[in-house]
Amino acid sequence: MRKKLIAVLLIATLAVATIGCGSDTQRTSTGTVANASAGGEKTEVETISSEARTLAEELLTRNVTEKDVVTEEVVEATIQVLKETYEFENLNELRVNDDESSLIADRKGWYNKLYNDSGIKVVVAEGSSKHQLESLESGEINIAWRMWDPVIAYLAHGAELTIVNVSEHPLEEISQAIVLKDSGITEFSQLKGKRISTSRTTCSYYTLNEMADEEGWTENVDYEFVNVADTEAKSALIAGEIDGLVMHQNPSVNNLLLDGTAVVLRNAVADGIYVNKGGGRHVVYGLTDWIGSHKNVVKVFVKLNQVIKAYILQNLDESAALYEDISRVPAKNTIYWLECEKNNWYFTEEPLESISKDSADLLEYSKSIGDAPADAQIDFDAVLDEEFFNQGQ
């Protein structure tokens, strides 16, 4: 029974984020869709097909996969089916963190299309991704998503959080070691004795440690660790303050790779903790009390967001162009990042027992590198809410 509830959540989140390009949409009473252009003119499009409706209904019972062909019509159908299936709890605003998917969804008007009839306004809280726990606790956001390892750190320090969705395992490309092209360094092993940086509070600190472990290196013995914030990484590398950088792709550093100023030495360890034990996975989560009081709202959001994310990945050029209009991040930059991150935008059907076991292993590694207190204990069976993960059964 609980699996059905989770699947619904996932669709809600995705559909919101992926819907169209710069136009607001409004469903008419006939079941057709009226698209409002930037100038406000409405043009009627054909009624949702039975094929789109059938897929939307099926996606209530399982997660979206890369094999599903997700069109705007499927997103529309998903919204329609979700509204017919769920009754939402009383809520004035649903506040969610910002990323490419939620900002695109907001621009397209899909969040409001899903919830407005219920009197719920969806707010994308820009800037909230940087300080998610504080944003959740202050009420700036209600639902968030990010990589599993920082969320485990929150839990290890006593935060009361519930996980309602977990992505597939990430690609190795999710975290990379890079150097300037003219540095003369062509292998990661050549960074021995040199200055290697990442931000101490980011996921890439995990991957740097795993890369060093693979080489048999000890931090500040075989290499100098330099703690540099993401916002300072590009300038530090160019200025020669560091010799190598281990990072998730971010817009400023991506430009160095795309214009050939920097090159990738290696990706994250293929069989390591970060890739194989969940560190680099995305999780959708919120404060336990809030999630428990708004389960239908959350289930619907999560399910729609699954669909939207799949739409974005399957329509990268269009979606990246829209995101460029929203954020001014060049489309080629966004495409590069999303191609590296795409596994994090599809959600797993892996058994909860397996996810829980991997998470426990990740916690132990987190303790070993100082990201979690040595005596931290987390009941992952309780944190991973079964009701949201049991898909359609």
In DSSP notation, 183-218 reads: G---SGGGGTTSEEEE-TTSTHHHHHHHHHHHHT--
**Structure confidence at residue 38 (pLDDT):** 34
Q: How far apart (Å, rounded) are the C-alpha atoms in residues 392 and 191?
A: 50
Per-residue confidence of the chain (393 residues) as pLDDT tens digits?
A: 333 333 333 333 333 333 333 333 333 323 334 333 333 333 333 488 999 999 999 999 999 999 999 999 999 999 999 999 999 999 999 999 999 999 999 999 999 899 989 999 999 998 887 789 999 999 999 999 999 989 999 999 999 999 999 999 999 999 999 999 999 999 999 999 999 999 887 788 999 999 999 999 999 999 999 998 878 888 999 999 999 999 887 788 899 999 999 999 999 999 899 999 888 999 999 999 999 999 999 999 999 999 999 999 999 999 999 999 999 999 999 999 999 999 999 999 999 999 999 999 999 999 998 889 999 999 999 999 999 986 543
Q: How far apart (Å, rounded) are the C-alpha atoms in residues 277 and 148?
A: 10
**Structure confidence at residue 199 (pLDDT):** 86
Closest CA to 187 of 267, 268, 261, 265: 265
Give the rounded distance of the alpha carbon of 320 from its chain centre: 16
Answer whether 96's CB lies under 8 Å from 105's CB.
no
**Structure confidence at residue 308 (pLDDT):** 97
Answer whether 283's CB lies under 8 Å from 151's CB.
yes
DSSP label of 124: E
Question: pTM (2 decimals)?
Answer: 0.84
Q: How far apart (Å, rounded) are the C-alpha atoms in residues 224 and 201?
A: 17
**Structure confidence at residue 390 (pLDDT):** 63
In the chain the domains, ranked by start, together with CATH numbers, are 2-170+281-354+370-389 (3.40.190.10), 176-267 (3.40.190.10)
Q: Map residue 97 onto helix, strand or coil.
A: strand
Angle at 202 between CA 196 and CA 206, to 5 degrees: 65
Answer whether 65's CB lies under 8 Å from 346's CB.
yes
**Structure confidence at residue 34 (pLDDT):** 38
Question: Biggest alpha carbon distance in the chain?
Answer: 70
Q: How far apart (Å, rounded) are the C-alpha atoms in residues 112 and 137?
A: 24
Query: Which residues, including other chains, have CB under 8 Å from residue 376's CB and lie 6 or more apart?
Result: 155, 156, 157, 363, 367
Answer whether 266's CB lies under 8 Å from 211's CB.
yes
Query: Which residues, including other chains, have CB under 8 Å from residue 368's CB and lie 6 or more apart?
Result: none
351: its two tokens: 């058994």
**Structure confidence at residue 12 (pLDDT):** 38
Q: How far apart (Å, rounded) are the C-alpha atoms in residues 211 and 192?
A: 11
In a 10 Å sphere around its CB, with 0-12 CB exposed, 13-18 middle and 19+ buried, how is residue 312 labelled? buried
Would you tell me how many other CB atoms lie within 10 Å of the CB of residue 264?
12
Q: How far apart (Å, rounded) are the C-alpha atoms in residues 265 and 179?
A: 7
